[in-house]
């Protein structure tokens, strides 16, 4: 579906296996990571709903953001700019065909926008996206009076040009993105929106909801969480804005992990001193596993610093100097593949809990990580809501990515100290980091790309 350029095509089944490079020595490099997926796609949605044009700088250009641009364009927004500077001029919204690819942010953030459009919109995506949880969003839109046909991708919905809004209850334990998607569009509902989470389980990925509230406030929207599991957005205009997108800190983690597992030192410049990005939590996790993390070149006025990660000396063979740990990752689940890779080459057991919702990510990440670490000779217990990983010497083998960018980068991390790891679909990294292999190679030769 759609015609959004090559980056939107599902990674080819026949893509050549990528031989993950082994680090010839402790990795020493400075790596500039591209813009945040989560911030880019929130900014694009708000810009399309705003009452005047917006500019984004530092925009991530990747499969997920091209899909978002394609979706908003087909609904009526005017979006231009090829590089990381993008301008968005809002236009009257009309029904469209939307390709969600495998992007959770597209499948959960765009339906409320389409509900504000006049006419029918049809949504579909990659085969794997059809199994991702979606009914919470579609039931919420039904409760708001939108005509919806379907409970998962593919589905169609009919917008009437406006939504009354009001109060809804929903179960967002499968993904925080249901709450975020509704809140992002809610200022345009006649009465705004009050959401109450009523599920048995907690809402995961709290920092991502905090990010949603923060971006809404930055465009003049009254958005708040008056109590745990309750969010409110007041009706009102959404202002055009000059967005400066932060680097993607979750995508920085494989590079930081490279320093951690090889006993090297990796610098990530332009790290925001204050941020709602989940990836910020990785600094503390590195420390907990035995790496050193410090700031350099702190620029208080710009609000950024260079984050420097120094790994403990590797122990030889396929064992790093890191130690196992116990973590509840419910708030920062998207970091799990990187952390699981670290755990597989650490000393001591690691327990990762609170992440049952990862079974509805790009793939069932708990099953995928357990299978792939075992495939290299590791030992993993797959739990209902997590993983227990035991250090074992690892060996060469194929690492399957399951079309999942973070599975692919986890395989790359292991390949640094496990000779002979072949990642079957490194092209899946195009979801959020199209030049991953270029950045990885530049890191290994010590240069900056
Ligand atoms: O809102 C967002 O930008 C995201 C929210 C999280 O989703 P879940 O709550 O489904 O984990 C996160 O894992 C995903 O990568 C991005
Ligand atoms: C879960 C993720 O993506 P999505 O936005 O598609 O949910 C992720 O990037 O780890």
CB of 277 closer than 6 angstroms to any ligand 2 atom: no
- In this predicted structure, the answer to whether residue 449 has a pLDDT above a threshold of 60 is no
User: Using one digit for the tens of pLDDT, what is the confidence trace for 81-111?
Assistant: 989 999 999 999 999 999 999 999 999 999 9
Question: Residues marked as binding for 3-phosphoshikimate?
Answer: 37-38, 42, 175-177, 205, 334, 361
Q: Averaged over 322-327, what is the pLDDT?
A: 98
Per-position DSSP letters for 28-43, written without gaps between them: EEE----B-HHHHHHH
Q: Catalytic residue at 296?
A: no
Residue 24 burial (C-beta neighbours within 10 Å; 0-12, 13-18, 19+): exposed
CB of 204 closer than 6 angstroms to any ligand 1 atom: yes
DSSP H or E segment with residue 166:
strand 166-170
CB of 416 closer than 6 angstroms to any ligand 2 atom: no
| Phi, psi dihedral angles at 189 (to 5 degrees) | -80, 145
**What is the distance, to the nearest Å, from the Cα of residue 305 to the centroid of all Cα atoms in its chain?**
22
Per-position DSSP letters for 122-147, written without gaps between them: EEE--GGGGGS--HHHHHHHHHTT-E
Q: How far is the CA of 208 from the centre of ligand 1 (A)?
A: 6
CB of 321 closer than 6 angstroms to any ligand 1 atom: no
Buried b (16+ CB within 10 A) or exposed e, 374-409: eebebebeeeebbbbbbbbebeebebbbbbbbbbbb
CB of 104 closer than 6 angstroms to any ligand 1 atom: yes
pLDDT given for residue 179 in this prediction: 98
Query: In testing the pocket of ligand 2, which one of 40, 133, 362, 363 has its CB within 8 Å of the most ligand atoms?
Result: 362
Beta strands in 198-314 (DSSP E): 223-227, 230-233, 242-244, 265-272, 292-299, 304-310
Query: In testing the pocket of ligand 1, which one of 37, 67, 137, 175 has its CB within 8 Å of the most ligand atoms?
Result: 175
pLDDT given for residue 414 in this prediction: 98
State the ligand closest to the CA atom of 276.
1
pLDDT given for residue 58 in this prediction: 98
Ligand 2 atom 8 nearest Cα = 334
The one catalytic residue among 232, 265, 334, 362? 334
Ligand 2 atom 3 nearest Cα = 104
What structural domains and CATH numbers belong to the chain? Answer: 6-30+247-444 (3.65.10.10), 37-244 (3.65.10.10)
Predicted ipTM? 0.99
pLDDT-derived band of residue 15, with 50, 70 and 90 as boundaries?
A: low
User: Using one digit for the tens of pLDDT, what is the confidence trace for 224-278?
Assistant: 999 999 999 999 999 999 999 999 999 999 999 999 999 999 999 999 999 999 9
pLDDT-derived band of residue 447, with 50, 70 and 90 as boundaries?
A: low
Q: Relative to the CA of 41, which ligand 1 atom is closest?
A: 3
Query: In testing the pocket of ligand 1, which one of 102, 133, 208, 366 has its CB within 8 Å of the most ligand atoms?
Result: 208
Q: Averaged over 49-70, what is the pLDDT?
A: 98
Question: Residues marked as binding for phosphoenolpyruvate?
Answer: 37, 104, 132, 177, 365, 406, 431
∠ CA(270), CA(276), CA(277), 5° rounding? 65
Q: Relative to the CA of 358, which ligand 2 atom is closest?
A: 1
CB-based contact 200:152 (threshold 8 Å)? no
Q: How far is the CA of 307 from the centre of ligand 2 (A)?
A: 24
pLDDT-derived band of residue 199, with 50, 70 and 90 as boundaries?
A: confident
User: Using one digit for the tens of pLDDT, what is the confidence trace for 125-144?
Assistant: 999 999 999 999 999 999 99
CA distance 230 to 173: 13
């Amino acid at each position: 579906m759609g015609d959004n350029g090559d980056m939107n095509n599902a990674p080819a089944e026949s893509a050549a296996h990528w031989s993950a490079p082994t680090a010839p020595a402790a990795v020493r490099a400075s790596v500039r990571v591209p813009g945040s997926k989560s911030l880019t796609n929130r900014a694009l949605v708000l810009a399309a709903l705003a009452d005047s044009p917006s500019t984004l700088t530092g925009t991530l250009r990747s499969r997920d953001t091209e899909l978002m641009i394609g979706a908003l364009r087909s609904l009526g927004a005017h979006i231009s700019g090829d590089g990381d500077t993008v301008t968005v001029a809002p236009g009257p919204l009309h029904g469209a065909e939307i390709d969600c690819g495998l992007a959770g942010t597209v499948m959960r953030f765009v339906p409320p926008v389409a509900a504000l459009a006049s006419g029918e919109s049809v949504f579909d995506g990659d085969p794997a996206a059809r199994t991702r949880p979606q009914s919470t969003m579609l039931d919420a839109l039904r409760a708001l009076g939108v005509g919806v046909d379907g409970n998962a991708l593919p589905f169609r919905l009919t917008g009437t040009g406006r939504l009354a809004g009001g109060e809804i209850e929903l179960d967002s334990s499968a993904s925080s993105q249901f709450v975020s998607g509704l809140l992002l569009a809610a200022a345009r509902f006649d009465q705004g929106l009050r959401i109450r989470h009523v599920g048995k389980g907690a809402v995961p990925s709290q920092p991502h909801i905090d990010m949603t509230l923060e971006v809404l406030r930055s465009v003049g929207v009254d958005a708040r969480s008056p109590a745990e599991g309750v969010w409110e957005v007041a009706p009102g205009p959404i202002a055009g804005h000059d967005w400066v997108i932060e680097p993607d800190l979750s995508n920085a983690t494989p590079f930081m992990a490279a320093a951690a597992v090889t006993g090297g030192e990796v610098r990530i410049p332009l790290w925001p001193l204050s941020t709602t990005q989940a990836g910020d939590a990785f600094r503390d996790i590195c420390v907990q596993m035995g790496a050193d993390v410090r700031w350099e070149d702190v620029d208080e006025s710009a609000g950024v610093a260079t984050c420097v990660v120094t790994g403990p000396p590797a122990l030889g063979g396929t064992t790093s100097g890191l130690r196992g740990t116990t973590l509840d990752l419910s708030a920062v689940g998207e970091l799990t593949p990187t952390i699981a890779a670290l755990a597989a080459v650490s000393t001591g057991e690691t327990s990762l809990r609170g992440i049952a919702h990862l079974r509805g990510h790009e793939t069932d990440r708990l099953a995928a990580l357990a299978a792939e670490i075992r495939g290299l000779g590791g030992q993993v217990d797959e739990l209902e809501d997590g993983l227990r990983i035991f250090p074992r010497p690892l060996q060469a083998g194929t690492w399957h990515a399951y079309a999942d960018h973070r599975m692919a980068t986890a395989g790359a991390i292991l390949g640094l100290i496990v000779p002979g790891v072949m990642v079957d679909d490194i092209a899946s990294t195009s979801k959020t980091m199209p030049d991953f292999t270029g950045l990885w190679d530049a890191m290994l030769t010590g240069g900056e790309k």
